[in-house]
């Protein structure tokens, strides 16, 4: 008997991608546990704490969903871009610019917040968040489409620029009495939360889950439709799988690069808006705990499937919630990096099969 690695001649079985993703997550926890044990921490205790602080109560789970919300939106945007092999690593920056644009509504202010109906103000904030993210996605899209410039580097550099841009406003112009944040926005412009229902039903008291999560679910359905049912989705998949064939088919690749980048940026921008209006209720430093980067991993772990993005985002939301208080602080980064690395290494199983071959039988067959 020996192991043989052969190239697959047909598509891998349907369960395989799910199995490799799950396997990657489990193995990542095992490996990270080994590293933690090596530096003298108790991995089991850390993981138990992880689980309890993420799923121990409905309140904790509500926190997890709050963290999952921006991940869903960003992960969906990344999934679309990655289908075209556009590596948008700039969701972090697009998120910040989206947050900045939606804050303009209250801080400039663009409307009189106290007299305008909240639904109009919130709608305007959403629109501006989307616009800001899309504009910020337009820049690397254009550079890629017109000059063929590596989008990974441009998007990463623009992430830094976006953070400094935000800092300029919250440290200076919009600062609340010298603190590095804007004043709290009036309650009228907050996204509705579960806690708002606490008066009718005390069960909801203290639950911070806001309607942003519903935006995420709607976008997941829309994106599923775009990818699987629409003509545009077909083009995107074709450009990603076989750019040459796409060019021969007369598809305008440059235009689609820019469009997909703007779409991806728009979703990150919307995530920035939901974070500002649904969670922190002002613009401040570090509104993102590297959602932009986790979103990349989420999309990849979900194998670019919109509904899987939602599920994986919940898992990562749990990682973020638990990771907040955990020491050492790099643990959640470590686990995320290991997961991503294992997922891409396991992709080899999609193309190759590992078989146990009976050497005796094989040699008999060869002889015949």
Partner 1 sequence: MNFEIMLHAGISTGTILLIAAIGEIFAERSGVMNLGVEGMMLLGAMAAFKTAYNTGNVWLALLAAVLAGGVLSLAHALVTIHFQADQTVSGLSLTFLGTGLALVLGEGMTGLNAPTVPNFTLPLLSQIPFIGRVFFTDQNLFVYFGYLLAPLAWYYIYKTKPGLHLRAVGEKPAAADTLGVSVYGVRYLYTFIGGCFAGLSGACISVAITPGWYSNLTTSGQGWIAVALVIFAQWNPMRAMLGGYLFGFLRRLLLDLQGPAMLLGLRNPFFYDHNLVFFLQMLPYVLTVMALVWGSSSARRKRIGAPAALGEPYIRGERGL
- Which part of the chain contacts partner 1 (CB under 8 A), choosing from 63-71, 267-275, 313-321, 324-332? 324-332
Q: Does 296 bind partner 1 (CB under 8 A)?
A: yes
Partners of 353 in the β-ladder: 6
Q: Does 354 bind partner 1 (CB under 8 A)?
A: no
C-alpha count within 13 angstroms, C-beta hemisphere, residue 196: 10
Hey, what are 27's tokens? 């193995």
- Which part of the chain contacts partner 1 (CB under 8 A), choosing from 201-209, 218-226, 296-304, 308-316? 296-304
Q: Is 13 helix (H, G, I), strand (E, B) or coil?
A: coil
Q: Does 329 bind partner 1 (CB under 8 A)?
A: yes
Q: Does 4 bind partner 1 (CB under 8 A)?
A: no
Q: Does 223 bind partner 1 (CB under 8 A)?
A: no
Taking the least distance from each CB to partner 1, the nearer of 147 and 248 is: 147
Please list, in sequence order, all residues whose beta carbon lies within 8 angstroms of the beta carbon of residue 21, skipping any fewer than 6 positions away: 301, 302, 303, 308, 312, 343
Query: Of all helices (H) and strands (E), which one includes residue 5?
Result: strand 2-7
Report d(CA 80, CA 70) in Å as an integer: 16
Q: What is the DSSP letter of 95?
A: H
User: Rounded to the nearest whole angstrom, what is the least distance from the CB of residue 219 to partner 1 in the complex?
Assistant: 23
Using CB under 8 A, which residues numbered 246 to 265 contact partner 1? Answer: none
- Which part of the chain contacts partner 1 (CB under 8 A), choosing from 63-71, 163-171, 195-203, 263-271? 163-171
Is the omega angle on the peptide bond into residue 90 within 30 degrees of 0, that is, cis?
Answer: no
The residue count for binding partner 1 (CB under 8 A) is 48
Near partner 1 by CB under 8 A: residue from 4, 45, 57, 150:
150
**Burial profile 152-162: b = 16 or more Cβ within 10 angstroms, e = fewer:** eebbbebbeeb
Footprint of partner 1 (CB under 8 A): 35-36, 39, 87, 89, 143, 147-150, 152-154, 156-158, 160-161, 164-165, 167-168, 171-173, 293, 296-297, 300, 327-338, 340-341, 344-345, 347-348, 351
């Amino acid at each position: 008997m020996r192991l043989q690695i052969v190239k697959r001649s047909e598509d891998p079985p349907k369960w395989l991608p799910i199995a490799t993703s799950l396997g990657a997550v489990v193995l990542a926890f095992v490996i990270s546990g080994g590293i933690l044990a090596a530096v003298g921490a108790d991995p089991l205790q850390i993981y138990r704490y992880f689980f309890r602080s993420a799923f121990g109560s409905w309140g904790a789970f509500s926190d997890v969903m709050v963290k999952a919300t921006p991940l869903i939106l960003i992960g969906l945007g990344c999934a679309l871009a990655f289908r075209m092999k556009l590596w948008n690593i700039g969701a972090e920056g697009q998120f910040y610019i989206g947050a900045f644009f939606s804050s303009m509504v209250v801080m400039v202010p663009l409307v009189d917040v106290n007299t305008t109906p909240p639904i109009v103000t919130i709608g305007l904030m959403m629109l501006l968040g989307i616009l800001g993210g899309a504009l910020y996605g337009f820049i690397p899209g254009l550079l890629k489409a017109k000059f063929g410039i590596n989008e990974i580097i441009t998007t990463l550099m623009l992430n830094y620029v976006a953070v400094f841009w935000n800092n300029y406003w919250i440290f200076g112009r919009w600062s609340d009495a010298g603190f590095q944040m804007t004043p709290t926005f009036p309650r009228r412009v907050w996204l509705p939360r579960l806690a708002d229902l606490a008066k009718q039903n005390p069960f909801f008291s203290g639950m911070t889950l806001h309607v942003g999560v519903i935006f995420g679910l709607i976008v997941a359905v829309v994106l599923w439709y775009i990818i699987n049912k629409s003509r545009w989705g077909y083009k995107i998949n074709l450009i990603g799988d076989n750019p040459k064939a796409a060019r021969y088919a007369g598809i305008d690749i440059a235009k689609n690069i820019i469009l997909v980048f703007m779409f991806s940026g728009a979703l990150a921008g919307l995530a920035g808006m939901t974070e500002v209006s649904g969670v922190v209720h002002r613009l401040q430093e570090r509104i993102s705990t590297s959602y932009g980067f986790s979103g990349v991993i989420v999309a990849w772990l979900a194998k670019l499937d919109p509904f899987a993005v939602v599920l994986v985002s919940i898992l990562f939301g749990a990682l973020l919630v638990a990771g907040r208080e955990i020491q050492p602080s790099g643990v959640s980064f470590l686990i995320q990096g290991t997961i991503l690395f294992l997922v891409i290494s396991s992709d080899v199983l999609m193309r190759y099969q590992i078989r146990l071959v009976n050497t005796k039988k094989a040699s008999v067959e060869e002889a015949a």
